[in-house]
Structure 1
Amino acid sequence: MTPAAERRLLQAALCVAVAVPLVTAGIGIVRGAAWLTPGEVPADLDSHFRYLSGIFLALGIAFASCIPGIERNGGRFRLLGAMVVAGGLARLVSALSIGLPSAGHAAGLVMELGVVPLLMLWQARVARRS
């Protein structure tokens, strides 16, 4: 595969991956913690959930900003990826201490500790080949 074709394939994969934080953060901001927990949600939990959803939205926008010049945005991409991996490690602590989360959050864990590190390695390869 040519370097240009690989770059385009990475950009397409990132477009798909970036949809996850953008969509889920938007839902989290609009619906709050009640989106995941039926019944009454304490105000402090809902406030914190919406705050974290806002950060998640900003993270998705920041990742999206890397896509056009992905081969030149390695530093920013690695920093954002490190933030996602740190969040995944925190989620792993929860899974080990309290139990596995719902399927959606388990999929998030796979994204955070599997897909994002692989995308980071792929970005580094594309940058080297450019």
Structure 2
Amino acid sequence: MIERRALQLMVAIACLVPLTVGGLSILRGPGWIGHPPMIPRDLDSHFRYVSGIFFGLGLAFTTCVPGIERKGPRFRLLGAMVVCGGLARLVSLAAVGVPGRGMALGLAMELGVVPLLMLWQSRVERFSLSPSGERVAER
């Protein structure tokens, strides 16, 4: 199914964001995104911790790529986690102002791209089932 393959490709490409950004953030800390190299240790620790979660989320999403039509519950859970992060980022936007370009792109991904991928995955999952609810063989 062409739609299934296209979804797999888009999810795989989207996974590059948390894997790359999360990985760089773990290794380099907040300095690589333009912050002073010396920040409070607790803030550095928290930044790297959250970055590790972000990296892990990318790894978890990659496990959805093979057989994506059968990974609905996992995909929705992971997507809901991303949307929660985007909502938290929205709170920051309201509290302290518009973030830099990279963070604004993250917000667009979290509250735009990921929900659209969730809807697309649901569609692919639905069309992979026969009318009786059984899985349809790959074509």
**TM-score by structure 2 length?**
0.90
Instruction: Please tell me whether residue 13 in structure 1 is matched to residue 10 in structure 2.
Output: yes
* Cα separation, 1, equivalents of 2:14 and 2:40: 31
Secondary structure, aligned partner of 2:85: helix
Instruction: Please tell me whether residue 61 in structure 1 is matched to residue 59 in structure 2.
Output: yes
* Cα separation, 2, equivalents of 1:32 and 1:62: 22
Secondary structure, aligned partner of 1:20: helix
Give the % identical residues.
63
| Aligned residues of 2:25 and 2:32 also touching (Cα < 8 A) | yes
The superposition leaves residues 92-123 of structure 1 with CA deviations (integer Å, 9 ceiling, x where unpaired) of 00001100111000000000000000000000
Instruction: Please tell me whether residue 71 in structure 1 is matched to residue 75 in structure 2.
Output: no
The structure with the larger Rg is: 2
Q: 2:20 aligns with which of 18, 23, 26?
A: 23
Secondary structure, aligned partner of 1:126: helix
> Which residues of 2 match residues 1-130 of structure 1 at below 5 A?
4-36=1-33, 37-130=35-128
Q: Which amino acid aligns with 1:12?
A: L
| Aligned residues of 2:30 and 2:37 also touching (Cα < 8 A) | no
Aligned residues: 127
Q: Which has the higher helix share?
A: 1
Root mean square deviation of aligned Cα: 0.7
Structure 1 residue runs of 4 or more that deviate by more than 4 Å after TM superposition: none
The superposition leaves residues 30-50 of structure 1 with CA deviations (integer Å, 9 ceiling, x where unpaired) of 101222312421100000000
Q: Which amino acid aligns with 1:7?
A: R
| Aligned residues of 1:33 and 1:45 also touching (Cα < 8 A) | no
* Cα separation, 1, equivalents of 2:90 and 2:32: 21
Secondary structure, aligned partner of 2:39: coil
* Cα separation, 1, equivalents of 2:94 and 2:81: 20
**TM-score by structure 1 length?**
0.96
